[in-house]
């Protein structure tokens, strides 16, 4: 298959070539012969043009009543729903995960679009009493300006929607730079917004690589808001650049998430969760369940049953019926996984299964890696400390709940954690003690919903949250208003 199409940048309501007229190929990670499309290799000049378009569109969009903004998002949500299957097929071709998962990715974009459309009539502030008579006090949200959004490849429509929709409903304009591995899904989303009636310049989208396009966007002085999801290393650079210009910066970075399985757990359910949490999206989720901490009394049984389930997983092209685990996104990511497997073996972890690139007619043109389990790991091993972002799960024994919590918290990240237990006391103790932004009981570490805040603690991010009404706090600023109708000077804190 080769339906190679030439895609342009979307700037100021027009599809335009990059200034340098250079391009790159978007390649199907399951089949390197399949060219998904040719995309513009944008640079700082393209970024500057897009920012100028977004800045010019901001005053009118800011003055557009939020319910009118919401009407456009509602239309976009319905268009996404109508096109869900076609959008999912495009996403599987460029990202690799099975259709079942890409349908979920599109659904997440639908959910976020409709949720934020509903907020168009709920951008509530506060009214409160004054310490003086004949004085009225209130607060309201104000948009900030141009938002630079830099998104990853693992959720190529959901995450752009997470960022764009709250930014738009608050009255901001947007410049989106999607990951170079998956620009098509972001372009499809922007195209839907345009068809829904979004005015020119309100959303601009350009393809390209991080150093050439993402970095200039993050540093641009006319972009007061930057939201970044990606690696910890790049996130730190974004943070430093943002500090230099006093930008609003939201960082969503790494995770090393843990499932705790206690001796009273429903083992069938726990194994279901560990398989899905560890190998869904080929482990390429910031919330992936890459560590499973298991009570010593049930460790052997869990290990054996988890191994059997993992060996039964069908790895293949996500377009094919029955495929449960797709390819890694590219050759570099496959090599990263290979390197960590070598590290795990050298550290003395027991390789239960996997640990190799898959070969054969079905796999030779893609970046397929066998689902991998390391057993009898110790918490300090690098494979138990560092984010691998691939189909690798480490099993760690524990002696009791307190020991499990200690292991779970013993990493630099704090995104997601979970516990499997029938003991409500243990569930609530872990809920309180786990140092993560997301916590599940009797479910894996993946499965966030759009109406709850998403984000983590420690080195996972910088404290902001995406999704839900929490996102509105990032994409707007509070304005406090005092209306004195006493016809005299009233001095706060002095005349009280």
Return residue ranges of the chain for CATH 3.40.309.10.
258-441
CB-side neighbour CA atoms (13 Å) of 405: 14
119: which DSSP letter?
G
SS3 content of the chain, % helix, strand, coil (to 5): 40, 20, 40
Q: What tokens were used for 85?
A: 């299957």
Q: What topology does CATH give the domain 258-441? A: Aldehyde Dehydrogenase; Chain A, domain 2 (3.40.309)
CATH of domain 9-253+461-480: 3.40.605.10
**pLDDT score of 141:** 97
**pLDDT score of 3:** 62
**Angle, nearest 10°, between helix axes 84-95 and 183-195?**
160
CA dist., res. 141 & res. 134, Å (int):
24
Strand partners, 225: 147, 248
Quick check: 175 and 47 in contact, CB under 8 A?
yes
**pLDDT score of 1:** 45
pLDDT along the chain (496 residues), means of 10: 80 97 97 96 98 98 98 98 98 97 98 98 95 96 98 98 98 98 98 98 98 96 97 92 92 96 98 98 97 98 98 97 97 98 98 96 96 98 98 98 98 98 98 98 96 96 94 97 96 87
CB atoms within 10 A of CB 382: 13
Distances (CA, A) of 232 to 246, 379, 387: 20, 21, 10
64: which DSSP letter?
S
Return residue ranges of the chain for CATH 3.40.605.10.
9-253+461-480
* pTM of the model as a whole: 0.96
Coil/strand/helix, residue 99? helix
Any catalytic annotation for residue 147? no
Any catalytic annotation for residue 347? no
Quick check: 468 and 166 in contact, CB under 8 A?
no
The catalytically annotated residue of 250, 286, 377, 398 is 286
Q: What tokens were used for 63?
A: 């003055």
The catalytically annotated residue of 212, 252, 303, 466 is 252
Sign of the four-CA dihedral 138, 141, 145, 148: positive
CB-side neighbour CA atoms (13 Å) of 256: 22
CA dist., res. 256 & res. 385, Å (int):
7
**pLDDT score of 25:** 96
């Amino acid at each position: 298959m080769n339906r190679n199409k030439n895609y342009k940048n979307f700037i100021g309501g027009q599809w335009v070539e990059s200034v340098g007229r250079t391009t790159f190929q978007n390649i199907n990670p399951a089949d390197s012969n399949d060219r998904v499309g040719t995309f513009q290799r944008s640079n700082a000049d393209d970024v500057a043009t897009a920012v100028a378009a977004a800045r010019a569109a901001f005053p009118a969009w800011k003055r557009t009543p939020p319910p009118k903004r919401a009407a456009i998002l509602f239309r976009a949500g319905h268009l996404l729903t109508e096109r869900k299957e076609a959008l999912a097929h495009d996403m599987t071709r460029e990202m690799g995960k099975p259709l079942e998962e890409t349908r979920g990715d599109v659904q997440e974009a639908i959910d976020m679009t409709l949720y934020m459309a509903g907020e168009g009539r709920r951008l509530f502030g506060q009214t409160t009493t004054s310490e003086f008579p004949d004085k009225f006090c209130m607060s309201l949200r104000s948009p900030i300006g141009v938002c630079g959004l830099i998104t990853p490849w693992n959720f190529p429509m959901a995450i752009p929607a997470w960022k764009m929709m709250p930014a738009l409903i608050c009255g901001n304009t947007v410049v989106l730079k999607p990951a170079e591995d998956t620009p098509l899904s972001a372009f499809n989303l922007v195209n839907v917004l345009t068809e829904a009636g979004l005015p020119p310049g309100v959303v601009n989208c350009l393809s390209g690589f991080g150093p050439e396009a993402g970095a200039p966007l993050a540093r641009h002085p006319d972009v007061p808001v930057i939201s970044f999801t990606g690696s910890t290393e790049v996130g730190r650079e974004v943070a430093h650049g943002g500090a230099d210009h006093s930008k609003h910066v939201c960082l969503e970075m790494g995770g090393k998430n843990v499932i705790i399985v206690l001796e009273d757990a429903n083992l069938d359910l726990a194994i279901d969760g560990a398989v899905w949490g560890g190998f869904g999206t080929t482990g390429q989720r910031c919330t992936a369940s890459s560590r499973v901490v298991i009570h010593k009394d049930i460790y052997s049984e869990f290990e054996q049953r988890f191994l059997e389930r993992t060996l039964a997983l069908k790895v293949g092209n996500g377009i094919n019926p029955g495929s449960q685990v797709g390819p890694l996104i590219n050759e570099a990511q496959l090599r990263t996984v290979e390197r960590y497997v070598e590290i795990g073996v050298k550290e003395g972890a027991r390789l239960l299964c996997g640990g190799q690139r898959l070969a054969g007619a079905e796999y030779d043109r893609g970046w397929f890696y066998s689902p991998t389990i390391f057993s009898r790991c110790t918490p300090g091993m690098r494979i138990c400390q560092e984010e691998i972002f691939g189909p690798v799960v480490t099993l760690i024994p524990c002696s009791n709940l307190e020991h499990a919590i200690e292991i779970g918290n013993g990493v630099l990240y704090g995104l997601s954690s979970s516990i499997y237990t029938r003991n409500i006391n243990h569930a609530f103790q872990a809920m309180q003690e786990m140092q993560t932004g997301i916590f599940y009981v009797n479910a894996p570490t993946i499965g966030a919903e759009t109406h709850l805040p998403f984000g983590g603690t420690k080195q996972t991010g910088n404290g902001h949250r995406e999704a839900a009404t929490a996102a509105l706090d990032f994409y707007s600023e509070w304005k406090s208003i005092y209306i004195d109708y006493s016809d005299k000077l009233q001095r706060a804190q002095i005349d009280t």
